[in-house]
């Protein structure tokens, strides 16, 4: 039996939408036991819907497919009737570990040296931009108390939030109470470590009891989750003081949230990028010593580039995501946003490892060392030559970075990361499908219309269209993802670090987020509009220490990361 061939593209489109209408109508039927008769038109609609996916069935096959749809629809109804909060993960887990990879043995926390000879500056701006080790010293010297430091940064946040729009919720009451406890512990000789008494902010997708967790989106603007995110628990154990829930673009996209747009402190006419918008903006402006962000596809790298922070996107599975909003269960990663690579290492060391709540089953236990100072002449460092030679805007900063690394003794070895046989960009349907599932109820309830952004590049539209990603294609994409993991590991495994432009080099940002590889992003220059530029150091899975050490060597030689946004350097 020959397959029915459409006479025109217009008819194909019309019938394709007819199928959508038939299915949507069936899905909305109140009586799930009813079976509506399927006409030849609906059978043809099934055919035309399959045709854009290059699936060709004959008319008898179409008839059987149409007859099978009611059973599927009844299953959909039953699944949708079951309440699924965002914090319920799928029963499968993503494994980023390629065959043969040896994971570093788990080890204890690093003992971080606290420098001598640091005194409290008189100028507010100088105090605001002290590093974590420097703040730790003046706390232990008794030149400032944990309460004083907490009040100081709370005041700066309140002073400048009207400019940057970087805070959703202040946690001042909790912060001052916890800071008083930290003062008492220090006075009693109970020192929790280098982060003891250090204020910080957390992206407002981490749950914290008694305070709103809005996910940056209007439909959740009043949401309070009676839970404490695992990463906040770990920082609390280390003695750090949460003083603010920082902004994120709605549901972790961009810098536009339900109340405003978060701004770049170097150029407040410009958005901060996102989605870890407030974490990067506030840290860059000296309103916080550090903050916690997340990345699924650029949400740490992008705002850190725009705002000039130094940030770590760790290996997938290194840091607990319990109590965090899920966007993509197989791609979400938690990481520190700081002003130096050394500070990223300090914060990462505190938050890596087991989840205090025991809820996050995706965690992978692995050791961490920070081999600084690094001898670059003894390390194998690659660079993506084709990306650096592609003639992009502001490539002068990146080429200067290579010159600095060579001057420090690095022998840079050309390497290519892309595999033209792997359709990397097509694998973004993995994120789209998982995100649509995470916010299925939002779409079906029509509350997605409350979101500020409604264009074709915004979540409401992406969630709707993602409903037409077949389960078969989602699984096939993940099979190709396995190939990508194996291929990228093969290209990276002989290097200690690979230098790559943050947003050039084809699909490296998406590819390394799909594979779960770590990276460090650092500022490496300033554009004509005063906004920073950045460079990225990629590493092997679980080798955050090496890329952080290379980044620190670069920063020690250039000190670009120590520059301050003039408006906030008072």
- The answer to whether residue 437 is domain-embedded is no
Residue 269, φ and ψ in degrees, nearest 5: -75, -10
Residues above pLDDT 90, as percent of the chain: 86
Cβ neighbours for 30, distance < 8 A, ≥ 6 positions apart: none
Q: How many folded domains does the chain comprise?
A: 2
Q: Does 379 lie in the same domain as 287?
A: yes
CATH number at residue 134: 3.90.1300.10
* Residue of 481, 542, 539 whose CA lies nearest to 515: 481
- Summarize the confidence of residues 212-229 as an average pLDDT: 98
- The answer to whether residue 99 is domain-embedded is no
- For the chain, give me the number of helices (H) and strands (E)? 19, 13
pLDDT recorded at residue 430 = 98
- The answer to whether residue 312 is domain-embedded is yes
* Residue of 465, 86, 535, 529 whose CA lies nearest to 305: 535
Q: Is the pLDDT of residue 14 over 50?
A: no
Q: Is the pLDDT of residue 33 over 60?
A: no
Q: What is the pLDDT of residues 49-102, one digit of tens each?
A: 555 566 777 888 888 888 888 898 899 899 999 999 999 999 999 999 999 999
Q: What is the pLDDT of residues 180-220, one digit of tens each?
A: 999 999 999 999 999 999 999 999 999 999 999 999 999 99
Determine the Cα–Cα distance for residues 410 and 431; give it in Å rounded to an integer: 37
Q: Does 21 lie in the same domain as 154?
A: no
- The answer to whether residue 460 is domain-embedded is no
What average pLDDT does the structure give for the chain? 92
pLDDT recorded at residue 46 = 54
What tokens appear for 187 in the block? 């006075």
C-alpha R_g of the chain: 25
Claim: this prediction has a pTM higher than 0.85: yes
pLDDT recorded at residue 40 = 52
- Strands (E) located in 454-557: 497-501, 519-526, 532-538
Determine the Cα–Cα distance for residues 326 and 381; give it in Å rounded to an integer: 34
Q: Is the pLDDT of residue 29 over 80?
A: no
- The answer to whether residue 461 is domain-embedded is no
- Summarize the confidence of residues 235-263 as an average pLDDT: 98
- Summarize the confidence of residues 460-480 as an average pLDDT: 96
Q: Does 285 lie in the same domain as 153?
A: yes
pLDDT recorded at residue 56 = 78
Residues spanned by the domain of 490: 124-420+474-565
Q: What is the pLDDT of residues 133-167, one digit of tens each?
A: 999 999 999 999 999 999 999 999 999 999 999 99
pLDDT recorded at residue 51 = 57
Q: Is the pLDDT of residue 300 over 70?
A: yes
Q: Does 159 lie in the same domain as 38?
A: no
Among all chains, which residue has been given the structure tokens 């230098």?
499
The widest CA-to-CA distance across the chain, in whole angstroms, is 87
Q: Does 323 lie in the same domain as 179?
A: yes
What pairing do the DSSP bridges indicate for beta strands 310-313 and 519-526?
Answer: antiparallel
Q: Does 178 lie in the same domain as 57?
A: no
What tokens appear for 24 in the block? 């949507």
Q: Does 188 lie in the same domain as 69?
A: no
Residue ending a domain, choose from 81, 109, 137: 81
Q: Is the pLDDT of residue 116 over 80?
A: yes
Residue 352, φ and ψ in degrees, nearest 5: -75, 165
Q: What is the pLDDT of residues 337-358, one digit of tens each?
A: 999 999 999 999 999 999 999 9
Q: Is the pLDDT of residue 503 over 50?
A: yes
Q: Is the pLDDT of residue 19 over 80?
A: no
Cβ count near 46 (within 10 Å): 26
Residue ending a domain, choose from 64, 81, 98: 81
């Amino acid at each position: 039996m020959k397959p029915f061939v459409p006479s025109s593209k217009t008819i194909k489109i019309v019938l394709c939408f007819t199928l959508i209408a038939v299915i949507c109508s069936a899905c909305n039927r109140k009586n799930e036991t009813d079976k509506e008769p399927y006409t030849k038109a609906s059978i043809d609609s099934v055919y035309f819907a399959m045709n854009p996916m290059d699936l060709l069935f004959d008319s008898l096959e179409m008839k059987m497919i149409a007859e099978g749809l009611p059973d599927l629809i009844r299953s959909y109804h039953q699944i949708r009737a079951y309440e699924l909060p965002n914090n319920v993960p799928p029963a499968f887990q993503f494994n980023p570990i390629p065959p043969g990879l040896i994971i570093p043995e788990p080890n204890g926390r690093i003992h971080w040296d606290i420098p001598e000879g640091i005194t409290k500056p008189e100028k507010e701006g100088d105090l605001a931009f002290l590093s974590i080790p420097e703040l730790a010293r003046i706390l232990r010297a008794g030149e400032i108390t944990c309460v004083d430091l907490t009040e100081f940064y709370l005041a700066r946040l309140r002073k400048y939030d009207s400019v940057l729009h970087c805070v959703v919720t202040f946690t001042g009451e909790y912060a001052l109470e916890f800071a008083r406890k930290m003062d008492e512990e220090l006075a009693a000789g109970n020192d929790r470590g280098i982060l003891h008494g250090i204020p910080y902010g957390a992206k407002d997708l981490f749950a914290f009891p008694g305070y709103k967790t809005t996910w940056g989106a209007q439909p959740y603007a009043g949401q309070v989750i009676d839970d404490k995110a695992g990463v906040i628990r770990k920082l609390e154990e280390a003695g750090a003081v949460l003083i603010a829930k920082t902004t994120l673009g709605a549901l972790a996209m961009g810098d536009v949230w339900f109340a405003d747009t978060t701004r770049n402190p170097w150029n407040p006419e410009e958005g901060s990028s996102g989605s870890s918008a407030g974490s990067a903006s506030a840290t860059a402006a000296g309103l916080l010593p550090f903050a916690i962000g997340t990345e699924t596809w650029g949400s740490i790298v992008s705002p850190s580039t725009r705002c000039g922070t130094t940030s770590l996107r760790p290996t997938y599975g290194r840091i607990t995501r319990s109590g965090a909003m899920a966007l993509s269960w197989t791609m979400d990663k938690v990481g520190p946003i700081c002003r130096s690579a050394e500070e990223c290492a300090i914060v990462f060391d505190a938050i890596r490892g087991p989840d205090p709540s025991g809820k996050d089953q995706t965690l992978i236990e692995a050791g961490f060392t920070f081999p600084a100072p690094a001898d670059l002449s003894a390390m194998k460092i690659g660079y993506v030559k084709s990306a650096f030679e592609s003639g992009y805007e502001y490539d002068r900063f990146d080429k200067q970075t290579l010159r600095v690394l060579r001057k420090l003794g690095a022998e840079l070895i050309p390497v290519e990361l892309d595999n033209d046989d792997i359709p990397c960009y097509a694998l973004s349907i993995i994120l789209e499908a998982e995100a649509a599932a995470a916010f299925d109820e939002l779409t079906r309830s029509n509350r997605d219309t409350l979101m500020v952004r409604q264009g074709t590049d915004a979540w409401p539209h992406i969630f709707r269209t993602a409903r037409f990603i077949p389960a078969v294609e989602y699984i096939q994409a993940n099979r190709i993802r396995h190939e990508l993991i194996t291929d990228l590991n093969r290209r990276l495994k002989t290097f200690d670090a690979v230098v790559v432009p943050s947003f050039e080099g084809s699909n490296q940002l998406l590819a390394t987020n799909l594979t779960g590889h770590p990276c460090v992003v650092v500022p490496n220059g300033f554009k004509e509009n005063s906004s920073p530029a950045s460079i990225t150091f990629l590493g092997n899975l679980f080798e955050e220490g090496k890329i952080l050490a290379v980044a620190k060597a670069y920063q020690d030689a250039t000190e670009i990361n120590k520059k301050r946004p003039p408006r906030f350097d008072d």
